[in-house]
Structures are given as C-alpha cells and as structure tokens.
Chain A
Amino acid sequence: MMKWVLMLFLGNVFVSQAATVNTSLYILRDSIHFDNGTALPYTTFNANNTFNATNARIVVNQGDQLDLWVVNFDSDPHEFRIQGETTTVTIPVGDSVQVLYDCNTPGVYIFHDPMNFPDNASAGLSGMLVVKNTSHAGFYWNVKEHQVGYNDSVFAGTSPNWMTYYPEHFTINGRSNPNINNDPDARVVGNVGDTIYIYIANTGQSVHSMHLHGYHATVTYYSKDASKVGWSKDSMPIYPSETMILELVPDIPGEYPVHDHNLIGTTGGSLYPQGMFTTLLIAP
C-alpha cells in the first residue's frame, strides 16, 4: 500500500504538548435520500466502513496534531486536501494516504476531494474539520444543496454545467427539514445564558443566507472576510467553500427557527417546507 505522508508545521508552540488525534476517513459511494423519495448517487467521507450521507466530521482542539488516514473504498481514484491548509494528495482505488496536520489555528476547515473541482466535492466528498479553542457547547452545520442529475454526470465522468445550476434539495449535515432536528449535532439545544458556538461550512456551490429567529449571534470566525469578525448579525451569508463560526448567547427561552433566507432553500423537490430549516431550542 502506497503511503503518502504530508507533514505541515504551521507552528511549533503546541507541537511538543499536543495530543495526537488518530482517525480515519473511508471514501464510500451509495446514495443520499430526500423526503420526496428522490435519491441521488453520493460519495462521502465516512468514519467507518458503513456509508453515511452525512460526511464524517473531525473535531479537534487547538494544538492537537491530526494523524489522519484516508482510505479509498470507491471504484474511482480520488484526491484529498484540507482546503487552504494542505497540498493535494491522490488516493488510488483501494489505497490510502496519511495526512498529518498541526491544528494550531482555531477555525472551521473544509476537507474535500479537489479532483475536477467542484465536481467530486459537490457529489458528496466534502466535510468539516473543526479546530476548537473552547469547551463551550458546539453544534455543526455542513450546509449544502443538490441538483438532480448533476451527481449522475459526475459519476459518468462528465462535468455538469454549473452556469445553469438550479438545485432542488437543500441539506444540513445531509438532512432536510424536518429531519435536521433529529441530528443532535445540528439542532442547537441549550439554556438562556449559555455560550453556544455554531460551526458552519458551506460545502455546496450556492450562497446560503442563514437567518436566526429570536437572536442575534456574533461572528467569531469568517473565512470569507475576517473583517466581519465581531459583527452581530441575524442573517449571514455563507459562501461556497467558506466557513464561519457564530457565537450565540441566548437571552430568552423558546423554540426559534433557523433557515436559509433564500427561501428557495427551505424547499425540497419543489415542495415546501423542507430544505434548510431547523430550530433552536432554548430552555429558561
């Protein structure tokens, strides 16, 4: 088995004291299913040898060293990189690579297959690496949209026409409303006065404008434009292949929606209400 070793040292302050996080990602192909019965062929990074339409999420603490093996169980070769952080490595069919990454800078990073970008990433191979510097409660949104037929094109070796992209399905962590609320990592649950962090990555190709009911949240990390850190917002665009962290300190109890305010994003398969719509549940 060929091994590719990628070493990145972005700093050495924490290296000697860092915990090493050993984990693996398995590239598997199956389908993502939507509530209207539509299923699209889909490839994801999985935590084990069982396909899940939700990409596995890697959460580490600042200062950790990530020792990651990526195993390609798909029938096509793939590539891997942590966007903006590591170089691209190729993973032949049935092979694996090792990626070592020093997690020195807090933030949300997207790992994906950059081959024929954005085709393979859009067909599912795009996940979140979260480098935390806090022990406060955290929730994770991998937001994405899907157009019927595009994944078939990708798997047939034809790049879809992104200039006519019109997605019909919208997901958070691979799920649509109302099933997003069944994902305990996605649905924000807390108490008044809690400090809650929402880690967001847009692994799709559309801009999504996420709107919070009930609260404003403070932007603490915004890969698109660091000058917006510190802004207090109730509606915030998350651009394709970009990430964001929101700090939420609820001041009133209740159950409040969060959704894409491009309201087409709250539909699914031409039906409403589906898509990117979940709720915050805040107890007194």
Chain B
Amino acid sequence: MRKSIYNVQQRRISHWVIVAFLLLAFSGKSQIDTSLTLVSKMDFQAQHELHDGNLVHLMGFTETLGAPILLPSKTLIFEEGDSVHITLWNMSQAASHTIHLHGLDVDQANDGVPHLSFEVAHDDSGHYYFEAPHPGTYLYHCHFTSVLHVQAGMYGLLIVKPKSDPNLTWENGYAFDSENAWLMSELDTNWHHDTIINAPHDPQSTTHPILPYYPQHFLVNGKSEGQLDAFPLVASVGEKVYMRLANIGYYGNEVIFPAGMNAQIISSDGRPLPNVVNSDTVKLFPGERYGVLLEADAEFNDVVQINYVNMNTHQLENTQEIDLTISGFIGVDELGSNDPLVYPNPANQHVKLPLSGTWRVLDLAGRELTQLNAPYFDYDVSELPVGTYILRNVDRPEWSVKLQIQR
C-alpha cells in the first residue's frame, strides 16, 4: 500500500477491470456513513507538533471525546443522496461551536451560523441534517467566532461521491485510478496561545478582539516542511490521479504541478466546469475547492510546489513542496501474459497485437526502450532481447499488454 498525503486515496487496480478501491489514512480510517457524531473540543495542553518541534494548542472536531485533535479534522465522506445526520457534542469547556457545511447549500436551520441557525454551548448537543448534494469537494468548519475558531483548527474536508462508482468524479464524469486531497491553510502561533484557545468567547459579547495575523507556518493537511516528506504524491505512468484541492486559510494558494503531470482542472466548488482548463497552476483562494486530473506519461521525480500568497501585498511568502514520484507502470502486475489478442506470447520473431499503429515498448519500470510500428497487427519483435515487456499503444494509451520474449 502506498503512502498518501491524505486518508482518501483510492486506487483502481486495472484499467480493464475495477477490482477494488483502497482507503489510506494517516489520521484514521475513513468510511462512508450517514450518521455520525463529532465532538468539538480544545487542547488543555499544547499537543499539535509543528515542523520545528514546537507544540501548539488546537480547537477541533474529533470522533470521540478521548481522541486527540488532528489538523485538519477527519475528512467526512458521503455518497450522493445520502441522508446525513451529524450530531455535534460540544465539550469545549468554554466556547460555543457550530458546524458550517461550506458549499453544501443546506437550508438555513442547518447552515451553522450562530445567529441565523443555532450555536451549541459547552456540554450541549446540536443536530445537523442534509441530503448529500452534488458529488464534489466541500468543507466544514466552525462558524462561531469563525475567524478565531477556523484558525484554531476547527475545519476539515467533506467529500460527496457518486453512488455508482467511488472512482468517478461524478455520474457520467471522469474515471480515476487514485485520489488525493490537499487542504491548505496557515498557522499563526500567536493565535494558538492558551489564552485564546481556552477563552470562552462569550456568546453574549458582541465583539471579540483579534490579533494581527502573520502566520509562521504554511500547511498542507496540517503539515509543513519536513513533515511533508512522509506524504509524497506517488503514481504510476498512465495512472489517472484525481486531486481535490481546497483552501481554508487566509492566504491565496498556487498549486503548481510539473508539466509532465498534464494537469486538467475539471471542477470547482462541487460543480463540474463547463470546459476543462489545461493548466499546471491552480490558483485557489480562501473557501475555494478545485478538482484536478493528473496523468503522467513518463517516469520522473519532481516536486509539486504550493505557494502561499499574501492577499494584501500579493507577495509570495512561502512555498511548500511535496515530493512527486512517477514510477513504473499502472497495473503491471495485473496485466496477464495470456491475453488472447496477443499471440504468440511468449513470442520469438513476430507477435500480433490487438491494435495497429505504434506501440511503445516499456520495461517493467515504465521506461521506454523502443517503439514498434506495423501497418497491420503483425509486429516484428526479433530485435527485442529475451525478457518481459509492457507494450503501450501510442494512440490509445489505455491499451497496454504484457509480452514475453523467449528464444
């Protein structure tokens, strides 16, 4: 199982047969659910470790009272049309909290804005209900004294998947082999002092003092700098990777993919775009979400850059990098050697392939060795040394076959 930057990575094993999808986690195992409880609370002791080793206090949502607060909070995953019931149990010891279902367009009663919906006081519970709408990427966050509580850590991703296939972007949308979710934010340690995190933020008080915001930490899924080394983006040649990008910070982001990833922006804010945008750079501002399809056509190692831009001065203040490794060939283990359209197999001098035209000859690491050309289906492989190869059609790269050469 590969490492993933987030807990929703799923992988289609073969491009011919969907065998399974996998959920990877580094903050807990995710599951599709229609009824759940979230506990809102705060850290009595600083426990969230920053890249420099310092610890800070958080507010956050957890699944149980005893669970540590993670940054961001658990990703909630539902299926389109689910009837979702969320109980918020506030054990903050102090502040009231809410859950705002950002982008879900729920009714006013469930919108999670204190004076327009309701707020949940300490040691009380509140209930939210919605029917999961359009498949897409959304957010949830506290909307009580939101500027403080969001910065304090009370946010997470909410993903709605189509009913028919979790590896579709939406019904009749794009199929993908794996997915990753990156939630960008920043952290100003001065906003995480105990005197702020543990303050009651009296709901009767009409105003709340706010510190100047000069973040020292620029985060992807709550991590930064060397912490991100453990969460590289890893994919295979030809693997369709769906990236869910979201910004819950107070800075603008520029996510820059290497050109070899052939990035296509296909959705935003839970809606398909009218036209696909081919762009290696995705700009997203606070509250926005984007869906981006990636597919590398060659092996390489690089990084994905994530810029953090000050929205007042427009200056680039920080860049985070996530290692990118494109290696091997998707589904190589699943490619059979007994494909009836590839014969003989093993081959010696000639082989018949299922499509005419040009085929790339790749080794098992995905490196291109040569190409085969023939006007019809009969290809000369007499120059290939003995071994096992992956042949990939140039015009229809989704067609790949495994070929053995024996003499």
Instruction: Enumerate chain A interface residues (CB-CB to B < 8 A).
Output: 145, 162-167, 205-209, 211, 213-216, 227, 230-237, 252-257, 260-264, 266-267, 270-274, 279
Are the C-beta atoms of A167 and B312 separated by less than 8 Å? yes
What chain A residues lie within 8 Å of B145 (beta carbons)? 272-273
What chain B residues lie within 8 Å of A211 (beta carbons)? 102, 286-287
Can you name the residue of chain B whose Cβ is closest to the Cβ of A207? Answer: B311
What chain B residues lie within 8 Å of A163 (beta carbons)? 313, 315
Question: Closest CB-CB distance, A187 to chain B, in whole Å?
Answer: 14
Question: Closest CB-CB distance, A238 to chain B, in whole Å?
Answer: 9
Point out which of B147, B212, B283 has the most chain A C-beta atoms below 10 A from its C-beta. Answer: B147
Bitwise, B385-406 to A at CB < 8 A (1) or not (0) is 0000000000000000000000
What chain B residues lie within 8 Å of A257 (beta carbons)? 111, 113, 116
Q: Given A166-B312, A237-B252, A272-B208, does the pair A231, B285 have CB atoms closer than 8 Å? A: no
Point out which of B108, B274, B287 has the most chain A C-beta atoms below 10 A from its C-beta. Answer: B287
What chain A residues lie within 8 Å of B314 (beta carbons)? 207
Bitwise, B123-147 to A at CB < 8 A (1) or not (0) is 0000000000000000000000111
Are the C-beta atoms of A209 and B285 separated by less than 8 Å? yes
The answer for the CA separation of A237 and B309 in the assembled complex, in Å, is: 13
Are the C-beta atoms of B312 and A205 separated by less than 8 Å? yes
Are the C-beta atoms of B287 and A234 separated by less than 8 Å? yes
**Contact check: which of A206, A209, A252, A272 meets B207 at CB < 8 Å?**
A272
What chain B residues lie within 8 Å of A235 (beta carbons)? 103, 269, 285-289
Consensus secondary structure, chain B interface: loop
What chain A residues lie within 8 Å of B213 (beta carbons)? 264
Are the C-beta atoms of A262 and B250 separated by less than 8 Å? yes
Are the C-beta atoms of A214 and B108 separated by less than 8 Å? yes
Q: Given A234-B287, A237-B252, does the pair A263, B268 have CB atoms closer than 8 Å? A: no
The answer for the CA separation of A123 and B313 in the assembled complex, in Å, is: 17
Point out which of B111, B145, B289 has the most chain A C-beta atoms below 10 A from its C-beta. Answer: B111
Are the C-beta atoms of B111 and A213 separated by less than 8 Å? yes
Can you name the residue of chain A whose Cβ is closest to the Cβ of B277? Answer: A227
Not counting A165-B312, A267-B147, a sample of 16 additional A-B residue pairs whose C-beta atoms are within 8 angstroms of each other reads A207-B285, A207-B311, A208-B311, A209-B287, A216-B269, A227-B277, A233-B271, A235-B103, A237-B283, A237-B288, A252-B105, A254-B108, A254-B111, A257-B113, A261-B286, A271-B209
Question: Closest CB-CB distance, A235 to chain B, in whole Å?
Answer: 3
Are the C-beta atoms of A262 and B285 separated by less than 8 Å? yes
Point out which of A145, A231, A271 has the most chain B C-beta atoms below 10 A from its C-beta. Answer: A231
Are the C-beta atoms of B285 and A270 separated by less than 8 Å? no
Q: Given A209-B286, A263-B250, does the pair A271, B107 have CB atoms closer than 8 Å? A: no
Are the C-beta atoms of B269 and A234 separated by less than 8 Å? yes
Can you name the residue of chain A whose Cβ is closest to the Cβ of B147? Answer: A263
27 intermolecular pairs with C-beta atoms under 8 Å apart: A206-B312, A207-B311, A207-B314, A209-B287, A216-B103, A216-B270, A227-B277, A231-B268, A233-B271, A234-B103, A234-B270, A235-B103, A235-B285, A235-B286, A235-B287, A237-B283, A254-B108, A254-B111, A254-B116, A255-B108, A263-B146, A264-B213, A264-B250, A266-B146, A267-B147, A271-B208, A272-B210
Q: Given A205-B312, A256-B108, A257-B113, does the pair A273, B207 have CB atoms closer than 8 Å? A: yes
Are the C-beta atoms of A233 and B311 separated by less than 8 Å? no
What chain B residues lie within 8 Å of A215 (beta carbons)? 105
Q: Which of B263-293 contact A (CB under 8 A)?
A: 268-271, 273-275, 277, 283, 285-289
What chain B residues lie within 8 Å of A214 (beta carbons)? 105-108, 111
Q: Which of B348-390 contact A (CB under 8 A)?
A: none
Are the C-beta atoms of B271 and A213 separated by less than 8 Å? no
B148 at the interface (CB under 8 A from A): yes
Bitwise, B282-308 to A at CB < 8 A (1) or not (0) is 010111110000000000000000000
Are the C-beta atoms of B269 and A262 separated by less than 8 Å? no
**Contact check: which of A255, A261, A271 meets B116 at CB < 8 Å?**
A255
Question: Closest CB-CB distance, A177 to chain B, in whole Å?
Answer: 11
Are the C-beta atoms of B105 and A262 separated by less than 8 Å? no
